[in-house]
Chains A and B, each alone.
Chain A
Amino acid sequence: MVLVGRSWLLAVVAFLYLPIAVMIAMAFNASSLYALPIKPSLQWFVALAGDAPLLTATRNSLAIALFTSIVATLVGTLASIALSRQAFRGRSLLKALLLPPIAIPWLITGTAMLVFFFWTGIGRGLHAMMIGHVALAIPYVVLVVGTGMEAVRVDLEEAAMSLGSTPVHAFVAVTMPLLAPSIVAAGLFAFAVSLDQFVVSYFLSTPGVSTLPVEIYSSIRKGFTPEINAISAIFFGVSTLLVLLFAQLSNLGGNRGRR
């Protein structure tokens, strides 16, 4: 039984990684028709360096992700403090309002943003994508920081206050340092959410101003070249690094026991 279970798990992992492995391997293959066996070559990575639209799109993606990560983390952490430390009427309603941006299909959120931004004159482009991405990332930040906050004991803060420190000082001096890993994790999470976001960017981009996923999408629809593999392989590597960092910081699946 144990053996069957383990083989099933390995088969599932193989299924999850097979296409990704093929995609990365083909980035290093000289054949532009993805022919086997693989002839090692770096030509597609070299070609990438001269591809101005892709490079611009990559810069846009990084700029939006950085902006999203900073703003969503700041705004989301503030909200998270209020939601998890203070009792007030309507708190559960406010918590429930975090769900729509996560639960509604991005297609609907994205088209709704397009309609509203176009109608009100906010328009499309970099600023529109930034507004959209921050909104998508805020609920995740609130959830990640909120979970971290649960692990930090309230009585430490209360002890500081009973020893004469103000609520704000108690929070900054006692809770903040304990919360720091969660906040950094939330920032990384927001960065990854923005970097991977395709649907909302797709509706808010203009022909000249797009992001890497949008650019990859239009290249796929135009036809296949291993150049897309090369950029995808780099993209995959960066996303993986971010997730590993996030896992390390938020102590995912481990039990170092902060409580």
Chain B
Amino acid sequence: MATRIAPSLPARLSSRRAWTTAGLLIPAYGWLTLAVFLPLGAMLFFSFLKAAPFGDRPLVFTFDQYLAFFRRPYLFDVAWRSIELGLWTTGLCALIGLPAALALARATRGRARQVLFLLIILPFWTNGLVRIFSWTIVLREGGVLDQALHLVLPSAPGLSLLYSYPAIVIGLVHAYLPYMILTCYLSVAAIEDSVVEAARSLGARTPAIFWKIILPLSLPGLVSGAILIFVPVIGSFMEPRILGGRIGVTMGTVIEDQFTQAFNWPLGAALSFIMLAVVLLIFGLTSRILPGRVASF
């Protein structure tokens, strides 16, 4: 742009370079535009329509879909339940995952640590659906858990946890726990032994060391783990459906219904964007707490 008159050699080189850069980038970003960004735009457009413009139905713009959320109290309940599910899952993952990460970093070494590390991340690369299905065999009435309980206590009543709220939480914790262990491990492993030793030589006891040193220093790991878990959990629909049965109504299942059962695409689109707004809000809030973390992900 700058050297319109008599382009010098470096300018010509840099313009060739710009073309190369563009050529390298266009396939990937073109694909993402076609398959992610344009669809999200289309969905935003749909969320302001009265009805999906198929056949010869006219385009009628309205805010009704968004207002529907505020007009129907049950949707508020459903949204709150989804958030609650997210909080339970994230909280339990933190309670189980941080000690596990600490143990991995401080109580194991060498080959054993590598093997444990691999064992922990392995299930999370296997199909999520298959893992949720596995839980149905364990938790259902007369399932493996009940049968095992009967072997120990023959007179105990069956637990039959399947199709209950705890079943959904168990399945989700199982699905997302590896994220928390991984992110916490990255923080915990960076804590230098000398810091802990210094505190100990100055007379700090183990609880004080945990609260004053370990916990504050593992906060970045806890927060990034919490984001990685909370966001997909509030959007989950397969886990609540399979493990919760009739009681597994979440924002995710309501949105899925709009697209597969009710065919009310504009309402589904509006609900999706309300959920997306919540997700963006969470990213926005946490990127303040964690400067550079989310951006460098």
Contacts and interface: CB of A to CB of B under 8 A. Distances in A.
Contacts of B241: 221
A135 B275 contact: no
Interface stretch (A40-48, A96-104, A177-185): A96-104
A28 interface: no
B contacts with A: majority SS: helix
B118 A247 contact: yes
A167 B34 CA distance: 31
A228 interface: yes
Contacts of B21: 82, 86, 88
Given A107-B252, A243-B125, A199 B134 contact: no
Contacts of A198: 127-129, 238
B238 A5 contact: no
Contact of A138 (B31, B104, B279, B295): B31
A8 B103 contact: yes
A111 interface: yes
Secondary structure of the A contact surface, majority rule = helix
A79 B24 contact: yes
Given A78-B28, A103-B231, A5 B125 contact: no
How many residues of B sit at the interface, in one of the four size bands? 35 or more
Interface stretch (A51-59, A151-159, A212-220): A212-220
Interface string B140-171: 00111001100000000000000000000000
Interface string B259-278: 11000010011001001100
Contacts of B42: 112, 115-116, 119
B31 A16 contact: no
B32 A135 contact: yes
Interface in B245-297: 252, 255-256, 259-260, 265, 268-269, 272, 275-276, 279, 283, 295, 297
A111 B255 contact: yes
Contacts of A164: none
Contacts of A114: 259
B138 A111 contact: no
A23 B38 contact: no
A96 to B, nearest CB: 7
A23 B137 contact: yes
Contact of A108 (B20, B120, B122, B235): B235
B39 interface: yes
Contact of A20 (B125, B134, B136): B134
Contacts of B144: 22, 34, 36
Nearest to A192: B125
A132 interface: yes
B234 interface: yes
A253 B295 CA distance: 23
A107 B272 contact: yes
B128 A220 contact: no
A103 B42 CA distance: 19
A22 B29 contact: no
A254 B113 CA distance: 10
Contacts of B27: 74-75, 78-79
Contact of B28 (A26, A104, A142): A142
A19 to B, nearest CB: 4
Interface string A119-136: 100000000000110110
Contacts of B17: 86
A247 B17 CA distance: 35
Contacts of B116: 9, 13
Contacts of B272: 107-108, 111-112
Contacts of B108: 5-6, 9
Nearest to A141: B28
B279 A104 contact: yes
Contacts of A76: 28
A252 B121 CA distance: 11
A239 interface: yes
Interface in A1-22: 1-2, 4-6, 8-9, 12-13, 15-20, 22
A36 B137 CA distance: 12
Interface stretch (B2-10, B56-64, B173-181): B173-181
A67 interface: no
A1 B237 CA distance: 40
12 contacts: A20-B126, A82-B25, A105-B236, A109-B36, A111-B255, A112-B42, A112-B272, A114-B259, A116-B39, A134-B35, A216-B129, A232-B130
Sort A-B residue pairs by CB-CB distance and give the 3 closest, nearest first: A105-B235, A5-B103, A135-B35
